[in-house]
Amino acid sequence: MSQAVLLYIDHKVAHIRLNRADKHNALDIGMFEAIAQAQKQVAKSRDLRAVVLSGEGVDFCTGLDVKSVMRNRSGMLKLLWKWLPWQANLAQVVSTGWRKLPVPVIAAVHGRCWGGGLQIALGADFRIVQPEASLSIMEGKWGLIPDMGGTLALRELMHRDQAMKLAMTAAEFSGTEALVLGLATGLDSDPLTAARSLAESFKERSPDAVAATKKLYRKSWSGSPGMALARETLYQARILSGANQRIAVRRQLGGSVEYKKAGRW
């Protein structure tokens, strides 16, 4: 994997770190590819219980490395190409790919989180944000629209008029404001430590229940009420037929038995 993104696994938690600190983790073509590769690598493991996503240096990610990307015409085509219009291209996968992982993804946001950086963080299931961090849907400053998949999260988290206002004005807002807007799950002066603590808390629960809850809520937060009810019943039946639910009961009663690998969700 490219050194632009670091991946290591510690006690069943994958730590993925954007690693272009000298460029404030601005996104060049190599970083897009490295993020997608890290997502694929994490998706292969059934032992993992959570992912913590963070950035090296003083900023989480300041967005697109415009000079680098604009002078790489073949790279631009690689970012935008897709076989079918409704599929995610490489530029979108760096956000939407987190949503598809069967484990919770927690973004630890500090410093500046602008443009593409915010799109990446929006793909996570949870965002722990430094109160004084600076966030922005900044594409409008460059005469662009946000096109990296973060729209899926914005429509779930915000009122439409507020999201349009942020995108049209490219206004910067703090972590404290992000919490009010619904874009931050929580605030912490040390978001990385807080994110790691949250990841540890997920390890106390059945990996099947955690994975099924993520899939249930991702698929059912909008759409048909009937389908949401059907999924609840189907997923619960699958969980009850597996060993991890019985292990969860034994752990609650004081047992120390370890959970088995998560099922395929």
Per-residue confidence (pLDDT) for residue 42, from 0 to 100:
96
Please give the average per-residue pLDDT across 226-246, as a whole number: 96
- At residue 77 the predicted structure's pLDDT band, cuts being 50, 70 and 90, is confident
**CB-CB contact of 38 with 70 (8 Å):** no
Tokens at 57, concatenated: 């240096």
Per-residue confidence (pLDDT) for residue 75, from 0 to 100:
64
Mean pLDDT, the chain, integer: 94
What CATH class is the domain 5-202? alpha beta
Please give the average per-residue pLDDT across 198-220, as a whole number: 96
Question: What are the residue boundaries of the structural domains of the chain, listed by start?
Answer: 5-202, 207-252
Please give the average per-residue pLDDT across 76-92, as a whole number: 86
DSSP code, position 242 = S
189 has a pLDDT exceeding 90: yes
74 has a pLDDT exceeding 80: no
CA distance 130 to 118: 14
DSSP three-state, residue 140: helix
65 has a pLDDT exceeding 90: no
Enumerate the H helices of 44-138 as residue ranges: 66-70, 73-80, 90-100, 116-123
- For residue 125, what is the enclosing H or E element? none
DSSP three-state, residue 112: strand
52 has a pLDDT exceeding 90: yes
Angle (CA) 47 50 54, round 5°: 130
Angle (CA) 254 214 34, round 5°: 110
**Matching residue, tokens 């910067």:** 172
- In the chain, what percentage of residues exceed pLDDT 70? 98
CA distance 98 to 36: 9
pTM of the model: 0.94
CA distance 220 to 197: 27
**CB-CB contact of 192 with 5 (8 Å):** no
